[in-house]
Chain A
Amino acid sequence: MPFIKPHRAGWTLLFFLAILALFRFPVKVFAHEISGFAAGEARLFPNEALFPGQNDQSASFALQPEYYHEFESGSSFTFVPFLRVDSGDQERTHFDIRELTYLWLQEDYELRVGVRKVFWGTTEILHLVDIINQNDQVENIDTEDKLGQPMVNVSFYRDWGTIDVFMMPFFRERTFQGTGGRLRFATPIDDDRVQYESSAEEWHTDWAMRYSHTFGDLDIGLSQFIGTNREPTLLNGTDSNGSAIKIPRYEQIKQTSIDASYVVGEWLWKLESLYRTGQGNENYFAWTGGFEYTFTGVFDSAMDFGVVGEWMYDTREERATNAFENDIATGLRLAVNDAASTEALFGWVQDLDTSARFLFLEASRRFGDNWLLTAELRAFIHQPMEDLFFDLRDDEIMQMELAYYF
């Protein structure tokens, strides 16, 4: 399958299997299980494509099995490969190792070696401070799908908090939509010509440290990241035919961040904020924060109705490299609390400086014990020329996924 890029993940498998082979596993095993999902997905773009080569619909198949082994000591081994085959975008057909980890559980620390996903943050719409893993952007533009990150992670738990140290020996490039894919920029991104600020390129060792703790109703996390920026700067270039292309360049950055949530009765208040240096020539602050409030038993039923309000701001304002430089988001979440776990989430992100808005609706329902049907609608409305989403202005998307969980 020439269109699968094995170099993206194959080396990690070999490297970590080699490391794991150095350690002797305890003999006695009491848990040993395989789970996961297989999913079929259909995407429909009601508006005609803006750029040549793009498709108006696509079908795709994804498989994510999970192998888990737990030893009597509580230590464990996890392996989660992921494969997607897509009819519309050759770049969306891809393989990744989401997880390949050995966890040593010790009396007062936890050591994890391998490929993992780590999440930092508290807000719902924009995951601002979350930086350990690279976005698997071809999966979904909501930044919640991530590529597995190779790392050594030590976690110390004390009365005064938890300290996590991450050493990341290898960098994962962001995935980008191919020319056949929708939800991409007008100028194709050529990730074969990727550039790095560090001469070590993707073998630069990145570091991160995090302190997190709970003080009563307050949960707080303070993090420092030093290493390769997950977000590339896109440089203008030309390919061998003289056509314009964008070349991703990954810079060395330092990011200091805080994320917090605070419970006040039925209210949940959230904040994420960061200061980043080394990206482009402008150091900047960015923050996002807001609230979540849930009404239980609405309409005299068992249904829960949640309201989310969040504000996003970036001191670079119109020079910001993410689309939410000064935006307000409203989210409405309905959980029916029926046997099928029917849920719906509606979101509206409004740019405060322009008329640009981004709407989405996600709904899911279980059928039987193993099937889950998910529908997603996303729309970009009134995108002005200068908006980062301008090239996506006709990429309203309707997506249905039927997944079988085993």
Chain B
Amino acid sequence: MKILITLLASIFLFSGFALAETPEQKGLAIAKEDDKRDNGFQDFTANMVMLLKNRQGEESTRHIRNKTLEVEGDGDKSISIFDRPRDVKGTALLNFTHKVGTDDQWLYLPALKRVKRISSANKSGSFMGSEFAYEDVTSQEVEKYSYKWIRDEDYDGEKCFVFERYPVYKNSGYTRQVVWLDQKEYKILKIEFYDRKNASLKTLTQSKFKQYLDKYWYPEEMYMKNHQTGKSTLLTWTNYKFKNGLKDKDFNKNSLKRAR
């Protein structure tokens, strides 16, 4: 009898704990699962076209090539090389993302043949004049935010987790981001960004997802709309290639100088 009571009590307590998973724990669990599903790609290269549009509808484009290397136990390493506009052709950015602390960044200026260390502390700065900030384009790590699950809802015909994430790194331009993540494939479909005053700033919508290596879902289009300025940026990704055998030595100051 005593045993039975203990057993029942344990079951009750256990299920009680399970039911009591806080929204914060659930949010973190979702982020961890998302990160796990993204792991193991090793490296990829891809081309990106940036279409900038201002409030008057005037357009301009930038063409960028990207190489990314997965680093076990830390954030990714990447090189972005600018092809167009032609006056910045050959300009390249080397970025070492870290799970904790600021990233390491170097900029290569081809006219001077100069590699310049730059401070990455101001993460809210515009990336190449676009509506994407540096903190939006560098690799997303679980440790960079705290989380809170809000609700489940259908978005664009897909069953989604809706959760908030709060940057824990310094100098973010955001108080919070609201993320719509589909429950089946863990694709980020939409993010709403709120500025330092917690006012609605930007919305990112990602579409045309394709699956690579039978595992990874990457969007071909990322559309960022700034609600405060009326400007927008559309990133179109093409020519994804995975497991190119890129190594650590392809991501240093030497390789930055000869990145083309």
Binding site for B on A (CB under 8 A): 31, 35, 37, 68, 70, 76, 103, 105, 110, 117-119, 121-122, 144, 155, 157, 162, 212, 214, 216-217, 219, 261, 263, 265-268, 292, 294-297, 302, 304, 337-341, 366, 369-370, 372, 403, 405-406
The yes or no answer to B140 lying at the interface (CB within 8 A) is: no
B87 part of interface (Cβ distance < 8 Å) = yes
Q: Mark B215-240, 1 if CB is under 8 A from A, else 0.
A: 00000000000000100000000000
Contact between B87 and A119, CB atoms less than 8 A apart: no
Cross-chain contact A76 with B260 (CB below 8 angstroms): yes
8 A-B Cβ contacts within 8 A? A266-B171, A292-B119, A296-B124, A297-B124, A302-B129, A302-B229, A341-B129, A405-B85
Please report the number of residue pairs spanning A and B whose Cβ atoms sit closer than 8 angstroms: 107
Q: CB-CB < 8 A to B114: which residues of A? A: 119, 121
Are the C-beta atoms of A110 and B254 separated by less than 8 Å? Answer: yes
Question: For A372, what are the chain B residues with a Cβ–Cβ distance below 8 Å?
Answer: 87
B113 within 8 A of A: yes
Interface residue? B173 (CB, 8 A): yes
How many Å from the CB of A214 to the closest CB on chain B? 7
Name the segment of B20-28, B53-61, B73-81 touching the other chain. Answer: B53-61
B196 to chain A, nearest CB (A): 9
* Binary flags per residue of B105-117, CB closer than 8 Å to A gives 1, else 0: 0100000111011
- B89 close to chain A: CB less than 8 A: yes
Q: Which residue of B lies closest to A116 (CB)?
A: B113
- Known contacts A118-B113, A339-B54; A366/B118 CB under 8 A: no
Q: Which of A103, A118, A119, A212 has the most CB of B within 10 A?
A: A119
User: With contacts A76-B260, A119-B112, A297-B173 known, is A369 near B60, CB below 8 A?
Assistant: yes
Q: Please, which residues of chain A bring their CB within 8 A of the CB of B249? A: 157
Smallest CB–CB gap between B69 and chain A, Å?
15
Interface pair A403/B118, CB less than 8 Å apart: no
- Cα distance, A157 to B129, chains bound together (Å): 34
User: Which A residues lie within 8 Å of B61 (CB)?
Assistant: 369
- With a 10 A CB-CB cut-off, give which of A103, A121, A338 has the most chain B CB atoms: A338
The answer on a CB contact under 8 Å between B88 and A296 is: no
Chain B window 234-251, contacts with chain A (Cβ cutoff 8 Å), 1 for yes, 0 for no: 000000000000000100
Tell whether, in the assembled complex, residue A369 and residue B85 are in contact, meaning their CB atoms are under 8 Å apart.
yes
Q: Beyond the given A35-B86, A405-B86, please list 6 additional residue pairs across the A-B interface where CB-CB is below 8 A.
A: A31-B260, A103-B258, A162-B254, A268-B119, A292-B119, A339-B54
6 tightest Cβ-Cβ pairs between the two chains A and B: A405-B86, A296-B125, A339-B60, A296-B122, A337-B126, A119-B114
- CB within 8 Å of A: which residues of B? 52, 54, 58-61, 84-89, 102, 104, 106, 112-114, 116-122, 124-126, 129, 170-171, 173, 229, 249, 252-254, 258, 260
Q: Is the CB of B254 within 8 A of A266?
A: no
- Residues of chain A with a CB closer than 8 A to B260's CB: 31, 68, 70, 76
Assuming A294-B119, A366-B85, A369-B61, is B129 touching A338 (CB within 8 A)? Answer: yes
Partner of A297, one of B89, B113, B125: B125
Q: Tell me if B254 and A268 are in contact (CB < 8 A).
A: no
Separation in Å of the B131 CB from the closest CB of chain A?
A: 8
Contact status A117-B113, CB under 8 Å: yes
A31 to B83 CA separation, bound complex (whole angstroms)? 13
CB distance from A284 to the nearest CB of B (A): 25
Complex formed: what's the CA distance from A406 to B253 in Å?
27
For residue A76, give the distance in angstroms from its CB to the closest CB of chain B: 7
Bound-state CA distance A70–B88 (Å) is: 20
Q: Report B-chain residues with C-beta under 8 Å of the C-beta of A341.
A: 85, 88, 129
Chain A residues, Cβ within 8 Å of B122: 266, 294-296, 304
B210 → A minimal CB distance (Å): 24
Minimum C-beta distance from A81 to chain B (A): 16
B117 touches A268 (CB 8 A): yes
A68 to B84 alpha-carbon distance, docked (Å): 16
Give Cα distance in the complex from A214 to B120, angstroms: 16
A366 touching B87 in the complex, CB below 8 Å, given contacts A157-B252, A296-B125 = yes
Chain B residues near A369 (CB, 8 Å)? 60-61, 84-86
Minimum distance in angstroms from A194 CB to a CB of chain B: 26
Give CA–CA (A356, B77) in the complex, Å: 47
| Residue of A266, A304, A340 ringed by the most chain B CB atoms within 10 A | A266
Q: Which of chain B's residues have a CB closer than 8 A to the CB of A296? A: 122, 124-126
Report whether A265 and B129 are in contact in the complex, using a CB–CB cutoff of 8 Å: no
Which residue of chain B is the closest to A403 with respect to CB atoms?
B87
**Whole-angstrom distance between the alpha carbons of A296 and B52 in the complex?**
20
CB distance from B58 to the nearest CB of A (A): 7
